[in-house]
Amino acid sequence: VLPTAQLQVIAGAGHVPMKSHQHTFNQMLLTGLASTSTFPSNANVLAREQHSENSSKRIGKCYQESQQYFSGHYDQLIIE
């Protein structure tokens, strides 16, 4: 839904990093939200599409499942 969304991994964090690592999580969230206002969203989408070396057309989907693991490069991850 957010065209500039990025995956950020917090080392040592479990399933609820916003509770176990509040400061780190909030800093990453605020930085990500602030960066969305500095670039037009269509420019970020175009930049992501042009990144071809590690790009993938794969879409990972997880619908109310536990113990689901994804590895490698994905264009999208849909988790509900």
Say how far apart CA 54 and CA 50 lie, in whole Å: 10
Q: Stretch 21-31: mean pLDDT, rounded?
A: 92
pLDDT category at 26 given cuts 50, 70, 90 is very high
Global model pTM greater than 0.85: no
Domain boundaries of the chain, sorted by first residue: 1-38
Give the 3-state DSSP-derived string for 23-68, with helices as H, strands as E and coil as C.
HHHHHHHHHHHHHHCCCCHHHHHHHHHHCCCCCCCCEEEECCCCCC
Is the pLDDT at 46 greater than 60, yes or no? no
Percent of the chain residues topping a pLDDT of 70:
72
Specify the pLDDT at position 22.
Answer: 94
pLDDT (tens digit per residue) in 10-22: 999 988 999 999 9
Closest CA relative to residue 4, chosen from 39, 28, 30: 39
